[in-house]
Structure formats: C-alpha cells, structure tokens
Amino acid sequence: MASRPRFALPRILALCTLLAFEAPAAAQTRLDDILAHGVLRVGTTGDYPPFTVRSADGGYSGLDVDAAQALAAALGVRVEFVPTRWADLTRDLDAGAFDIAMGGVSVTLERQKKAYFSAPYLRDGKTPIARCADKEKFETIKTIDRPNVTVIVNPGGTNEKFDRANLKMARIEVWSDNLSIFDHLEKGDADVMITDATETLYQQKLHAGVLCAIHPDAPFDFSEKAYLLPRDEALKEFVDQWLHISQANGGFAAIRAKWLE
C-alpha cells in the first residue's frame, strides 16, 4: 500500500490560507457608506413647490423633503440637504456631492445615461398654466406657439427642453427664480407657462382665481417623477424597496395627500 505524502495536509492548509488572503474583498457600496457615516445627503434645488422649497433661513419643506426624512428614518440615519441647481443636478450627483437627488425630478433618458432612477412614484406631464381670464387661449401647442405669445420658463430643466423643442414662433422668456416665476405670470409679464401638471395644480391653489391650470388631467406628454441615484445597485434596491413598502402601508400616500390634495 502506497504511503501518503507526509506534508500534504500542511501544504493544503497553507494554500487555503494564501487563497483566502488573495480573494478580493467585497466592494464598499454607497449604501454601506451612508450607513457607516450615519448621514443621507439629499441633493435638492429648493425651488420647485410642492416638491421642494428652501426658505430664507435655509430650511426645506415639500413633498420630497418629507419623503427624504422618511427614507432617512428607514435607513436609521439623519438627512442632510445639499443645494443644487437643475442644470447641475446630474453632474453634482456624478461628482459625489450627494447620495440621491429628490425634489420633483422627472425621469428622462438623458439623465438615465449617467445615473439610475428609483421606481417612479408619480405620473405627470407638461401642461399650460395661465391667467384664468386667458386659459381658453392656450389649450394647444398651436395656440401657444404664436409670435405675439410670451412663454415664461425656468432654465436648465425639462420645462425649457420642452419649450425649445416644441415652440418655434412664441417668445420664450427665461426666468431664473423658480419661486417667483408664477408671480411674474400673474402680473401679466408673460402669457403662459408650460410645466408639470402637478405644479400647475399646486400653483392654481396658491393663486386661486387668478392662475388656472389648463387640462392638467390631459397633459401634452407623458412623464414620471422618481429619485435620481448614483449607479449603486445596493442603494437603488433599498430605495425601491422602501418606496414599495411605504406605498403599500399608506405612508407615502399620507405625504402625497398633504401636498397635492
């Protein structure tokens, strides 16, 4: 009977130890970083009611501000809001300025090229808002796109993109302050604005009897709101699962009702 090699077992143990040292460690995810630091950094523009509004003292309020607080609570961390602009949103996320963008972010294929979106939480679309006395004048793109019509728009987002693509004759006036843009419209300094149906309904409430949303239930196009995320599978899966649970248990419905109903 052949004898076994005397050093077989030690060699096997040494080889296993070497392989264990050489095995690559699991990559640290953005979700791991958030949990380790105890902070969820939320990028938000603060200029898009009812989703996000920044007050003079630097505080934030809005539907997605409440949602961010609920998401942070689910993670067991605190939330830190990071100011950004619509034109810089994707670039700031890619640079690591924040962990997630929240605040009425529309799902677009252009943004999808560089980031992930959560599951959508709201269906929307572009629709006009004008002074109530003029609402019948601006029901279609054709009646809006005339040389004597001034369309006001905030810069750098999907509203401006829609206007540039669809309006060839109307005058497009870019107004940089999204918080005062509807006051500007109310005063008659512009004729109409095309924005998300949810925003037109909210602004109709704030400017009751003066500004009217025009067919918000039948917008010009289709869009959805979602949360913009870095390309981190673990974080996306957590956010999607949180959304799923909060929509099923009524938590998200309560936040939505507070701001939109």
User: Residue 183 has what pLDDT?
Assistant: 95
Q: In terms of domains, do 132 and 177 share one?
A: yes
Is residue 20, in this structure, part of any structural domain at all?
no
Q: In terms of domains, do 177 and 251 share one?
A: no
User: Residue 124 has what pLDDT?
Assistant: 93
For the ranges 1-5, 59-63, 208-212, 244-248, which has the lowest average pLDDT?
Answer: 1-5
Whether omega before 50 lies within 30 degrees of 0, making that bond cis, reads yes
| Number of structural domains in the chain | 2
Is residue 197, in this structure, part of any structural domain at all?
yes
Mean pLDDT over each residue of the chain, to the nearest integer: 91
Range of the domain at 175: 126-213
User: Residue 122 has what pLDDT?
Assistant: 94
53 has pLDDT over 60: yes
pLDDT band at 178 (very low <50, low <70, confident <90, very high): confident
90 has pLDDT over 80: yes
Is residue 241, in this structure, part of any structural domain at all?
yes
Q: In terms of domains, do 88 and 157 share one?
A: no
User: Residue 63 has what pLDDT?
Assistant: 96
User: Residue 176 has what pLDDT?
Assistant: 87
User: Residue 215 has what pLDDT?
Assistant: 96
pTM exceeding the 0.85 threshold for the entire prediction: no
**Residue 193: CATH number of its domain:** 3.40.190.10
Is residue 194, in this structure, part of any structural domain at all?
yes
Give 160-185 as a DSSP string: HHHHHHH-SSSEEEE-S-TTTHHHHH
Q: What is the mean pLDDT of residues 145-170?
A: 95
Q: In terms of domains, do 174 and 234 share one?
A: no
User: Residue 104 has what pLDDT?
Assistant: 94
User: Residue 118 has what pLDDT?
Assistant: 98
Question: Residue 132: is it exposed, middle or buried by C-beta count within 10 angstroms (0-12/13-18/19+)?
Answer: middle
Q: In terms of domains, do 117 and 140 share one?
A: no
To 10 degrees, what angle do helices 233-248 and 63-75 make? 110
> For residue 254, which of 20, 66, 55, 44 has the smallest C-alpha distance?
66
Is residue 147, in this structure, part of any structural domain at all?
yes
Q: In terms of domains, do 82 and 42 share one?
A: yes
Alpha-carbon distances of 66 from 50, 71, 252, 254, rounded to whole Å: 11, 9, 9, 10
* Residue 261, CA atoms < 13 Å, CB-side half-sphere: 6
For the ranges 177-181, 214-218, 245-249, which has the lowest average pLDDT?
Answer: 177-181
User: Residue 26 has what pLDDT?
Assistant: 63
User: Residue 177 has what pLDDT?
Assistant: 84
User: Residue 87 has what pLDDT?
Assistant: 87
pLDDT digits (tens, 9 = 90+) for 2-45: 555 554 555 655 555 555 555 555 679 999 999 999 999 999 99
Q: What is the mean pLDDT of residues 142-149?
A: 98
153 has pLDDT over 70: yes
Q: In terms of domains, do 98 and 137 share one?
A: no
Q: Are 97 and 84 in contact (CB under 8 A)?
A: yes
Q: In terms of domains, do 158 and 78 share one?
A: no
Q: In terms of domains, do 149 and 105 share one?
A: no
Q: What is the mean pLDDT of residues 237-258?
A: 96
